[in-house]
Structures are given as structure tokens and as C-alpha cells.
Amino acid sequence: MYQLMKKYLFTLDPEVAHERTVHALQLAQSTPGGTSMLRMMYGFQDQRLNNTLWGIPFANPVGLAAGFDKNAEVYHGLGAIGFGFVEIGTLTPLAQPGNDKPRLFRSVPDQAVINRMGFNNQGVESAARRLQNYQQAGIPIGVNIGKNKVTPNEEAASDYEKCLDALYPYGHYFVINVSSPNTPNLRDLQETESLRQLLRAIRAKADALEKNGAKAKPILLKVAPDMADEHMRDVVQVAVAEGMSGIIATNTTLSREGLSNRTFAEQTGGLSGRQLTARSTAWVREIYQEVGRQVPIIGVGGIFNGDDAYEKIRAGASLIQVYTGMIYEGPGVVQAINRRLLERLKQDGFTTIQEAIGADHR
């Protein structure tokens, strides 16, 4: 079914195709029996894929990365197609339109996407209203937060604090996004001392909210794949030292290595897709060696099938996320990945997914 839909969707501008897909999911989740139908078509359960992190149960390790459900509009429908968890956002304190269009591009021969969306979203207040019943989704919901484009880096901490103020009652975990390449100077916040001060302020805000009665939530840091080795080690060590509960590796890349479509490669923005597979897996492996025994890692980047996912899990990822892989493979990719994971577990003599995490290091 998706292959027929894909032929149509790929005739459209990529952002229009995305909007129509979101609209279709909105229709499905608002129609009586719609989510049940999605579960019947795409759902898949097997206790060997269960895991619990930060006290949160995950039915399977396959999540949807931030960027698809920016405004928390369709996470119920996404849960129905089998995702083990969904990350909404990136959200900013104030609504903002993002960068000028066109800002989303695909290259089918490369199985790649370039985006320069620029944190287009409706703001935290709008998302908070839609997250009122987040528990009913039946899966963990992550909340990815960032700063507004007009906020100078010197005041960035205030934006992240405002996001926590508005959204902390909702969602199961939070993600600090300082690694998108599409907000000017945002990645400068990954410089060691800037990051230390930012994360310290964010942790202090979360602690204050919890002292006032809010339920404690894990806070993760999402990192870019384009840092030098030594810088990445500094970043993840700072994250752990300042109380972050996990690392998401990685965001999109500015590299154009491996692309065959030169016109596509000339577009500015972050690249995701097949060219990121090996790079992000290598970073998962490096980060696991550095801090992976202290905090969990979510591996993301270039996952199209169960073998891609399993490589990241063996490299040290406790969970994985897809996005571009779903664009090219369709919603059935979640079930396909989970089925292949079970095959790979059996081949390696593992009885549960937990046993495979970090297996390459043993």
C-alpha cells in the first residue's frame, strides 16, 4: 500500500508531502476505530524487545525521531503504527515560522533528505494543550526543546527554562537540542564551557520544578555528528557531569560525503539518510566507550532496516530512532525492523534485546 502512496507523495514538494501525511494521521486518529485499524495493520509485540530505562517501560526499541510530529499533533496515531516511543518537537518558547521555503529536499538515488526547516513550530503553549492526554498514547513520549531564532546565545538558557516551565508536566523525557545546523549559531552552544553553563541552568530549573511537586523527568542531550573526537568526548563528559540522563547520537550532518546527486548536495541544511548510517553508528560506539555505562544512548541516523538498527544496538544504543528511513520505507518499517531484530538476537544467541546492547564492547 505504501509503495503506491509513495509514488504519489514523491511527486509532491517534500514539505507538502509531509503535511499531507500528518493530515492523514490526524484523520485516522480522530476517526472511530482508526487507531485500532492502524494497530491491526502495523502493530507488533514481543516481550523479548521490552526494555525499561529511567523507570519508563519501552515495548520495543524503535522510536520516531523529533522533526516529524513537531507540534504534538499525531503522536497517538504514530503509537498505533508500532513505534516503541515518539519524540515530538523541536519546540521553542514562542511560535516561529522557520526558514524560508523551499527548505526540505530529497534525493531518491541517495536515500537522503536535506532539511533547513529552522525549528518551525507553533510554540510551547500550543503543544502543552495537545499533550494534556499524552498518557493515553500508550507509549513513552519525548519532548525535544530548543531556543527561538531571535534569542541570542547569551540568553539561550532562558528559552530552555521557559520550555520546561510550560511542558514539564507532560511527556516522559526531555531532549535538549543544541545540535541542529539550521538555527544560526545554535551549535556554538556545544562548546564545552557554554554547554556546561547551559546544562547547569537547565538542571537547576528541572530541580526547582521537582521541588515544587513536578514529577522528575529524564533530560537527554542530542549531539551533532560533525565534532572532532576530542570535542565529542568533552561534550558527553560535560553532559553526564551536569546531570543529563542520556545522549542522543546523532543529529543531521553538514557533510555531503557519499552523495551522488550534486545538485541536491549543494542545498544548505542538515543531511539525513543512508550517508549518515556509518557515521552515527561510529559515534554511538565512541560515546558508549566514553559514558555509555553511566547513561543510556539513543542511536539515530540512517536506519532503514533491522540490520542498521542492530548495529547501533550492539555498538551501545539502548534505543534507536528512525525518520528518513520511514520516508523511504513507509510505516511498515517499524514492524520490519522489530522482526529483523528478533532474527538477529536469535542468531547471536541472545534471548532479550537488553543482552545485545553494547555487545560489540564485550
The DSSP H or E segment spanning 75 is helix 75-80
Helix or strand or coil: residue 198? helix
Segment 148-200, tens digit of pLDDT: 999 999 999 999 999 999 999 999 999 999 999 999 999 999 999 999 999 99
Distance separating alpha carbons of residues 248 and 239, to the nearest angstrom: 11
pLDDT given at position 293? 87
Please check the confidence at residue 277 and state whether its pLDDT lies above 80: yes
Give percent of the chain above pLDDT 70. 100
Distance separating alpha carbons of residues 255 and 265, to the nearest angstrom: 9
Say how far residue 80 (Cα) sits from the centre of its chain. 18
Helix or strand or coil: residue 5? helix
Mean pLDDT of the region 314-321: 98
pLDDT given at position 227? 94
Q: Clarify whether 255 is annotated catalytic.
A: no
pLDDT given at position 4? 83
Q: Return the closest-CA partner of residue 246 out of 192, 198, 287, 207.
A: 287
Helix or strand or coil: residue 273? strand
Range list of H helices, 212-257: 229-241
Residue 173's beta-bridge partner residues? 142
pLDDT given at position 90? 98
* Banded model confidence at residue 2, pLDDT cuts 50, 70, 90: confident
The whole model's pTM is what? 0.97
**Would strands 141-145 and 51-53 be described as parallel, antiparallel, or unpaired?**
unpaired
Q: Which domains does the chain have, with CATH numbers?
A: 2-361 (3.20.20.70)
**List 107, 180, 272, 318, catalytic entry:** 180
Please check the confidence at residue 106 and state whether its pLDDT lies above 90: yes
How many other C-beta atoms lie within 10 A of the C-beta of residue 348?
Answer: 12
pLDDT given at position 53? 98
